[in-house]
Amino acid sequence: MICIACGSDEAVLAKSHIISNFVRKRLTGEKGRGGSKKFTFKWIGRSDLPNQDLPKPYLMCKRCDNTLGATVERNTATLLMPENVDLFHEWQQLPILECQIHGVFDEPLPLGIYDYPLSQQFLIEKFALSTAWRALHALAKDDEKLSKDFLISARGRGINQSVIRHLFDDAILEDGFAASLYYWPPQTVRFITGKDDEMPFAWVELGDQNEFLGVAVMFAYWVIIWPLFECEEHQRSEKLNRLNKMCFLNWVASVKKQLSQ
């Protein structure tokens, strides 16, 4: 089995989390002071996946998996959410600004983005990218066509290498291929799951038969969107709007529908 990061051929790869385990640990209360379980997680569209644990596809060798864990994931938890996730006022102290997403509805869709000093912001961006990158590879391994074709194309291989150099060696990422992480509030989560104590977790490739637009990952209070389309500069906002619409309108609706069944 080939490690998606270093390319080494290992007899056994580590079971990688797409979405870092700290998300589940904090939100289920495993790390909370009370220790009580707070939320259940619901996987979308994959009845074979466990409900309470996060799926762990074989993606990276142990060394690469540990490296990402130590350099990116370990320090991101405290940036994304408060120590005590039950306390509303602790959430309010996080530097989350409102931003507007265009192209989804007639009116701009308001979501939250983090606004940290540069070095911490850099960590959040790396976390978003490493999550989306693992989702892309997991989708390809699951034979999802757009992701699979992308990763074997020359362009896809180039972007993949650029992401790996960025994640593991701090090389500058090729322009336009950063992943965005958005915060959406508890009422949005409730709207999607129809429940107070359930969190949706899913990832998806977005596009149509003509074009791969990107990958999106939803987990608890966050959504990551990673644009991967090819475009001239003047087409960029139109394609981004289409990607946003596929994510926040079509995909959210389909998740909501699946959860209500």
Judged by the rule CB under 5 A, the positions of this chain that interact with Zn ion are: 3, 5-6, 61, 64
> CB-based contacts of 119: which residues, under 8 Å, 6+ apart?
none
The minimum distance between CB 151 and Zn ion, in angstroms, equals: 16
The minimum distance between CB 64 and Zn ion, in angstroms, equals: 3
The minimum distance between CB 4 and Zn ion, in angstroms, equals: 8
Nearer to Zn ion, 6 or 178 (CB): 6
| Cβ-defined contacts of 238-242 (< 8 Å, 24+) | 239/213, 240/103, 241/102, 241/103, 241/104, 242/103, 242/213
Nearer to Zn ion, 6 or 249 (CB): 6
Coil/strand/helix, residue 181: strand
Nearer to Zn ion, 64 or 140 (CB): 64
Nearer to Zn ion, 163 or 255 (CB): 163
Parallel, antiparallel, or unpaired: how do β-strands 198-208 and 180-183 relate?
A: unpaired
Nearer to Zn ion, 61 or 163 (CB): 61
Coil/strand/helix, residue 236: helix
The minimum distance between CB 13 and Zn ion, in angstroms, equals: 8
Element (H, E) at 244: helix 236-245
Per the DSSP assignment, residues forming a β-bridge with 2 are 9
**DSSP 8-state secondary structure symbol assigned to residue 179:** P
Residue that has been written with the tokens 């005590």 in this structure: 84
The minimum distance between CB 203 and Zn ion, in angstroms, equals: 21
Cβ-contact 134, 13 below 8 angstroms? no
Nearer to Zn ion, 27 or 68 (CB): 68
The minimum distance between CB 58 and Zn ion, in angstroms, equals: 12
